[in-house]
Amino acid sequence: MTSLTLAPVPSASGAIRLRPPRAPQLEASAPAGGGRAMRWFRLHKGELRAALLALLSIAAFIAAWHLLTTHRMTLYVRFSNVPSPEQVLESASRAFRSGRFIDHLLISCRRILFGFTLAAVVAVPLGLLMGRYKLLKEAVFPVSEVLRPIPAIAWVPMAIMLWPSNEESIVFITFLGAFFPILINTLHGMSTMDEVLVRAARCLGAREAATFREVYFPAALPHIFTGLTVGMGVAWVSLIAAEMISGQFGIGYFTWEAYSLVQYPDIALGMICIGVLGLISSVAIRFLGRKVAPWSHAR
C-alpha cells in the first residue's frame, strides 16, 4: 500500500500550506495499434453483429435444405425431387467451366444495366417535375397509375409487337419493371418536402432553379434511392419473366431450359444466381446512396 505524503508549499503571505504530490502518470498499457483496433471494433460493432447473424442464417438455411433433400422428406411440401446442395454445387462447377453459362449471366447483366439505367434517367427527372408542378402531375399521374398494375408477363406480347427484336423487347420490359417504383418513390419524396425550407431559400434570394437544385432535390434523394432499390428488384423479376417467355439467352432462359430438360440442379443454380445478382445490385445502390446522401443514414 502506497503512503501519501504532503509537500509544504510557501504562500505569498508567508504561511505554509500543504499540497499533495502529483500522481505519477501511468504508462499506456496497450499499444497504439491495439487501441485503434478496439476503437474500430466499437464503431463497427453493430455492422459486425449484423454480418455474423447473416452468415448464421444462411448456414442454417443450407443445413435445413441439406437435411430435407437428403432424407427426401415430405412435410406436405414434397422435397423428393428437389436437388440437394451437393448436387447444385456439382452443377455450378460444370456450368462455370462452360463459357455458355457465363454468356447467359453477362447477357442478363447487360439487359439489366440498359433497362434500369434508362428507367432511372427517365423516372427521376419526371418524378421531380411532377412533384414540383401540379399541372404536369395531373396530366401524367393517371396514365402511370393505369399502366403500373400491369405485370411484366402481360407486356411480353405487346413488347414483341412494338420492338423489332427480342433483345429490345426484353430491355423494354425491364425498363417498365424499374420505371414505376422509381417514379412513385420520387413523387413521394417531393410530397414530403418541408415548405419552410422552400420559403427560407426564397427569402435568401434563391431563384426557381437554385431552389429546385439546392432544396427540392437533396430532400427527395433518400426517397429516390429507395425507389432505385425497389426498382432494381422489380427489374430483375421482369427480366427473368421476359427471358423465360421470349428470350433465347440469359439466366432466365437458362433456368427455363433446365426445367424443360428436367435438369433440376440447373434450375436451383439459375435461381441462386438470380438471387445473388439481385442482392449485389441492391447492395451497390444502397452503398451509392450512403455516399451521395449520407444525411439520410445518420444515426
**Per-residue confidence (pLDDT) for residue 48, from 0 to 100:** 83
User: Could you report the per-residue pLDDT of 140-187, keeping only the tens digit for each?
Assistant: 999 999 999 998 889 988 998 999 888 999 999 999 999 999 999 999
Q: pLDDT value at position 274?
A: 94
Taking residues 212-223, report their average pLDDT: 86
Please provide the size of the chain in residues. 299
Which of 5-9, 50-54, 252-256 ranks highest by mean pLDDT? 252-256
Grid cell, residue 223, equals 426517397
Average pLDDT over residues 279-285: 93
d(CA 117, CA 129): 19
Say whether pLDDT at 24 is over 70: no
Task: List, in sequence order, every beta strand (DSSP E) within the chain.
Answer: 7-10, 16-19, 74-75, 77-78
Give the span between the Cα atoms of 104 and 251, in whole angstroms.
Answer: 5
- Share the mean pLDDT of the chain: 85
**Residue 25 CB partners (closer than 8 Å, separation 6+):** none
pLDDT at residue 136, rounded to an integer: 92
Phi/psi for 58 (5° steps) reads: -65, -40
pLDDT at position 113 is 95
Cβ density class 159-179: b for 16+ within 10 Å, e for less: bbeeeeebbebbbbbbbbbbb
Distance CA 170, CA 176 (A): 10
The C-alpha atoms of residue 286 and residue 33 are separated, in whole angstroms, by 31
Which of the four pLDDT bands, split at 50, 70 and 90, describes residue 21? low
pLDDT band with cut points at 50, 70 and 90 for residue 223? very high
Total-model pTM = 0.79
pLDDT at 106: 94
Residue 84 has φ and ψ, to the nearest 5°, of -80, 165
The CB density around residue 196, as the number of other CB atoms within 10 Å, is: 8
Average pLDDT of span 5-18 = 52
The pLDDT of 20-25, averaged and rounded, is 55
- Whether the CB-CB separation of 236 and 274 falls below 8 Å is answered with yes
Domains of the chain: 44-82 (no CATH), 85-297 (1.10.3720.10)
For 250-269, write each residue's pLDDT tens digit: 999 999 999 888 899 999 99
Q: Is the pLDDT of residue 73 over 80?
A: yes
Confidence of residue 299 (pLDDT cuts 50, 70, 90): very low
Q: Which stretch of 6-15, 53-62, 208-217, 221-230 has the lowest confidence by average pLDDT? A: 6-15
Greater model confidence, 197 or 117 = 117
Alpha carbon distance 169, 232 (integer Å): 18
Q: What percent of the chain has pLDDT over 90?
A: 48
